[in-house]
Chains A and B, each alone.
Chain A
Amino acid sequence: EDKVVQSPLSLVVHEGDTVTLNCSYEVTNFRSLLWYKQEKKAPTFLFMLTSSGIEKKSGRLSSILDKKELFSILNITATQTGDSAIYLCAGNYGGSQGNLIFGKGTKLSVKP
């Protein structure tokens, strides 16, 4: 059975800390792994990873995929209160596009 497991489920840090969010997956016909950020309502896209070992970066956020060990990490450096959100990891499993299986998310709270 396809599954995506995220850890930790929740995390509380202080502004300026660096955090690492984990995502492991077992996805048949794996195509890609995606990270989304969900604040109040709609999840918004952060990264899509298809190749092992190639880091994707956007400002203070970065992510990398390990297709051999079947996991991905999302790093956030110098956290800010605006980073508080639920971070969702999703694996794209075979067949048509958009066959995403989501993890349960990591709830990140950044305290001032």
Chain B
Amino acid sequence: DTAVSQTPKYLVTQMGNDKSIKCEQNLGHDTMYWYKQDSKKFLKIMFSYNNKELIINETVPNRFSPKSPDKAHLNLHINSLELGDSAVYFCASSPLAAEKLFFGSGTQLSVL
């Protein structure tokens, strides 16, 4: 069973569109994250949720909106996609008060 699963794996879309990426973890972890990895492989945190509550919101355009319906799910909705949003987006989870993150396999977003 996949511990942290995110869908879709690939997403190709036009500028200006709205898209969502879904993430689910079956590890029973309390904290979930979204990370962005750019073309230079630089991995940077975007959001962190602890038990459905937002605890980290780095400097991310407000076109990006995370939603956590329950502690096992953290979805990412992106409005008005721009070329610069092209990247790989990773979902991750960790137990409470633990730094060891478990990553999903990533969603490669290409904005044309």
Give chain A's interface residues, CB within 8 Å of chain B.
31-32, 34, 38, 41-45, 48, 86, 88, 90, 92, 96-102, 104-105, 107
Please count how many residues in chain B sit with their CB below 8 Å of the partner chain's CB atoms. Answer: 27
Chain B residues, CB < 8 A from A86: 41
Q: Most chain-B Cβ atoms within 10 A of its Cβ — which of A43, A45, A97, A98?
A: A98
How far is the CB of A39 from the nearest CB of chain B, in Å?
11
Q: Indicate if the CB atoms of B103 and A32 lie closer than 8 Å.
A: no
Give chain B's interface residues, CB within 8 Å of chain A.
4, 31, 33, 40-45, 48, 50, 55-56, 90, 92, 94, 96-106
* Overall SS of chain B's interface: strand
Once bound together, how far apart are the Cα atoms of A44 and B3, in whole Å? 12
Chosen A-B contacts, 19 in total, with CB atoms closer than 8 Å, are: A34-B100, A41-B106, A42-B103, A42-B104, A43-B101, A45-B100, A48-B100, A86-B41, A88-B43, A92-B99, A98-B45, A98-B56, A98-B94, A100-B45, A100-B99, A100-B101, A102-B43, A104-B41, A105-B43
3 nearest CB pairs, A to B: A42-B103, A102-B43, A41-B105
Q: A42-B105, A45-B101, A48-B100 are contacts. A97–B41 as well, Cβ < 8 Å?
A: no
Q: Indicate if the CB atoms of B55 and A96 lie closer than 8 Å.
A: yes
Q: Indicate if the CB atoms of B98 and A42 lie closer than 8 Å.
A: no
A43-B101, A44-B103, A98-B56 known; 17 other A-B pairs, CB under 8 Å?
A32-B99, A41-B106, A42-B103, A43-B43, A97-B96, A97-B97, A98-B31, A98-B33, A98-B45, A98-B48, A98-B92, A98-B98, A98-B101, A101-B45, A102-B44, A104-B42, A105-B42
Chain A residues, CB < 8 A from B102: 45
Once bound together, how far apart are the Cα atoms of A101 and B48, in whole Å? 13
